[in-house]
Structure 1
Amino acid sequence: MSRPSASIRTAVVWDVLRGALDRRAKLADRAQLDVLDTGGGTGNFAVPVARLGHRVTVVDPSPNALFALERRAAEAGVADRVRGVQGDVRGLFDVAERGGYDAVLCHGVLEYVDDPAEGLRNAVAALRTDGGGVLSVLAAGLGGAVLGRALAGHFTEARLALTAEGGRWGESDPMPRRFTPEQLAGLVGGTGLEVVATHGVRVFADLVPGALVDAEPDALDALARLEAAAAELPAFHAVASQLHVLAEVPAG
């Protein structure tokens, strides 16, 4: 099964998500799950999830992204299992069913919403209430931004990101908000879900010069293996460019 595009940056998340979906399918005794992808854009995750046989609803505010999603799903032969609707996580239940999904993806959303806690509550409310429903959250990490600015020689910006509320390094910073591992896990845990795992994503991939990866034929695979090994180690979560939290509806 192919991984989502830009696999060196998404491989860790994809492997964790695929395993969680497999477990949910076994628990629910259904081969086909209903998956909601909030902010799913052009289908980087939605289309591979549909290739696994699941039905995916993508909610995104961009008509252009949804058009690209439709084209990508058709090219992948999964157009019958992917549905795109225009909307956002704040007004989620204007376009999506409350309590209607086995899994909800909330990737690259919390950085941009006015109230991340409200966004997460909506995502959780979309899950079926029987035990085992899966929430996958991917968000920008504070430590990775600080480290990246410092290694680029922008020391003042690195200090600003480290100390400013929201982790922004200045007015021109395109990212509205970043999270520490503790902040993100706390937000997810505050919804009442059980946090199953936290992973650091893009610990090294954003820092290694492309010329070094291109110089050796096996370098890309070696970098991917390094990312996978570091992802589960808490010591590296604090310097990851992104943080991934997997949570489930408690049993009982």
Structure 2
Amino acid sequence: MSRPSASLRTAVVWEVLHGALERRVKSAGRERLDVLDTGGGTGNFAVPVARLGHQVTVVDPSPNALFALERRAAEAGVAERVRGVQGDAHGLFDVIERGGYDAVLCHGVLEYVDDPADGLRNAVAALRPEGGTLSLLAAGLGGAVLGRALAGHFTEARHALTAPDGRWGEGDPMPRRFTAEQLTELVGGTGLTIEAVHGVRVFADLVPGALVDTEPDALDALARLEAAASELPAFQSVASQLHVLAEAHEQRDQ
């Protein structure tokens, strides 16, 4: 079964991130920000951020992903503003500068690291001591439970609901999932101020693509529905992903 486009599924995150970067430009007093994208892969967010005029460093463990990133940045005309570096969250400061970034994107990382708290601390330590913005995106528990149940896999849904890591079984490709409370607790533990929490892909992963393709204006209507539901805790609890935006406003212990 086909699903709505990837751009729809990330629209809520991009809108929040775009606004946060605009505010960071004003507070930093510079038109160009230094942005770190940990686990940025092929540049789904890095390239659009570079199009805004910012300098983006992508750290990812996959050479193939970094090669695709280089090609994508070149095709978008932003190759000079995108730098790919091979590395991971655990050894982040082996490959990039500590405290050198105005904004850090930590998207799809905490699910895969051995110690999410340690991985997040590294991401936060990459922010400038005088302040910075963190964009955190991670897999949501509720969306997986709902998805398995609607597919008729009730035992797997119950297993995900009760498992400490939120996995529905041995065949689950996702190593870990989070609730909104778990993510906000992790972020709060770093000393950052949480500005917003959004549910991502509340409906997009459940709606058959055929419905969106055949109904006039359905894609726009679905996008508006996603945006409206994303800020409501009741719908965040069943979202496929969770997005937390946080800010560092003052000197932190590095």
SS of the residue 1:110 aligns to: coil
Residue 217 of structure 1: how far off its partner (Å): 2.5
The answer for the alignment partner of 1:217 in structure 2 is 216
Residue 251 of structure 1: how far off its partner (Å): 4.1
The answer for the alignment partner of 1:115 in structure 2 is 115
Residue 209 of structure 1: how far off its partner (Å): 1.1
SS of the residue 1:18 aligns to: helix
The answer for the alignment partner of 1:174 in structure 2 is 173
Distance 1:197 1:250 in 2: 15
For residues 175-202 of structure 1, what are the alpha-carbon distances to aligned partners after superposition, in whole Å with 9 as ceiling and x for unaligned? Answer: 0000000001100111010011000000
For residues 93-152 of structure 1, what are the alpha-carbon distances to aligned partners after superposition, in whole Å with 9 as ceiling and x for unaligned? Answer: 011100000000000000000000000000000000113x00000000000000000000
Q: Which runs of 5+ in 1 are unaligned?
A: none
Q: Which runs of 5+ in 2 are unaligned?
A: none
Distance 2:231 2:192 in 1: 20
Q: TM-score, normalised by structure 1?
A: 0.97
The answer for the alignment partner of 1:30 in structure 2 is 30
Distance 2:248 2:129 in 1: 7
For residues 36-94 of structure 1, what are the alpha-carbon distances to aligned partners after superposition, in whole Å with 9 as ceiling and x for unaligned? Answer: 00000000000000000000000000000000000000000000000000000100001
Distance 1:139 1:217 in 2: 32
What is the 5 A alignment of 1:1-252?
6-131=6-131, 133-251=132-250
Q: Which structure carries more relative contact order (alpha carbon 8 Å, separation 6+)?
A: 2
SS of the residue 1:50 aligns to: helix
Q: Percent identity?
A: 85
Tell me how large the CA RMSD over aligned residues is. Answer: 0.9
Distance 1:211 1:64 in 2: 32
SS of the residue 1:223 aligns to: helix
The aligned length equals 247
Distance 2:229 2:249 in 1: 28
Q: TM-score, normalised by structure 2?
A: 0.96
